[in-house]
Each structure stands twice: as structure tokens, then as C-alpha cells.
Amino acid sequence: MNVVIERLKETDIESLYEFEVGNRTFFEEMVPSRGNDYYKPEVFKAKNESLLDEQAKGLSFFYLIKDENNSILGRINIVNIDDFNKIGFLGYRVGQIHTGKGVAKKALKLLLSTIVDLDIKEIKAKTTTNNIASQKVLEQNGFEHTETNDKEFELNGQMLKFINYRWMNKPLF
């Protein structure tokens, strides 16, 4: 499957809404819910317009993962960029029917290739102890495990911990 990433645009918001609603139950098995309000069309639109403003200011970058037919397969983002230290935080999610096909791995590789243009020196990421697939995606793209938090939390009846990762942008010369 051919995978591309494209920066979020206002014209994507309606199809992104359909993607999020269609995958809500699946996503909430792995990460805390965004709450019922998030899925109200007017709230979703306003939230994503705010994200576009953030992106225009260079504070965060929001990408859609798409296939050759322009269908949304997932999202991948670098958020909360510390402009002074050039550090950003990674987040991604792939729709249920596209998991296990290498989509996240390919999208992250593409995202990391854009880092030179974004002037980011380090990306931090975290996942949970039960999300083995996400751990593999990070490690296969050069992220190093930096720590596993001591504090446990409950998600969907499981006691979990966060695992933290880091990727350093190494100059070519």
C-alpha cells in the first residue's frame, strides 16, 4: 500500500470527522476518550480550526496519513514544539482496518524525513506498556527507549504504565 502524509487543511475537516467517528471505539480501547463533546460536529470543526491556527504559527504540525486514493488511513502530528530547544512531541493513530499493514511505520518514516524543513532537533513520544505495535513502530524508526514511568494508571480495566521514547535529528555532516 502506498502511503503519503499531507498537512491538515480546512478542506480535510469533514472527512477527518468521519474518520474519527468511525474509529472512535477502536481508539478508545488504546487511549483515553476525547469525550462526547469532541464528536459533536460543531465542536470538532472548531477544535480543528484551532489546530490549523497552531500549525500556521509553527507551534505544531498536523498531518493526515492517506493512501493513493486520497482516503484517510490515520493521523500523525508533532505538537507543542519548544521553539527555543527545538523539541516536539509525536502523536499518531491509524484507523482500525489499516492496522498491521505497516501504515504507521511508513508514515513515521515520512514524517521524520520532513524534520529538516521544520528545524526540530528532538522528538519525544510515549506509548503504553500494552501497545506493543506502537513500541515497534517507534523503535523501527530510530526512537530510543528513555524510561518506563513508575506510576501505573487504569485504562479499560488494565493497569498500565507509560513508556517514553526519544528521537534525535542527527546532522548529515
Domain boundaries, the chain: 4-168
Tens of pLDDT, residue by residue, the chain (173 residues) = 899 999 999 999 999 999 999 999 999 887 788 999 999 999 999 999 999 999 999 899 999 999 999 999 999 999 999 989 999 999 999 999 999 999 999 999 999 998 877 789 999 999 999 899 999 999 999 999 999 999 998 888 889 999 999 999 876 55
- Fold annotation for 4-168: Aminopeptidase (3.40.630)
Q: What is the per-residue pLDDT for 1?
A: 81
The alpha helices in 57-168, defined as continuous H runs, are: 103-113, 115-118, 132-140
Give the H or E element holding residue 20.
helix 13-30
Q: Cell numbers 484507523 label which residue?
A: 95
Q: What is the per-residue pLDDT for 172?
A: 56
Per-residue pLDDT tens for 64-101? 999 999 999 999 999 999 989 999 999 999 999 999 99
CA dist 86 and 138 (Å) reads 19
Pairing of strands 4-7, 87-94: unpaired
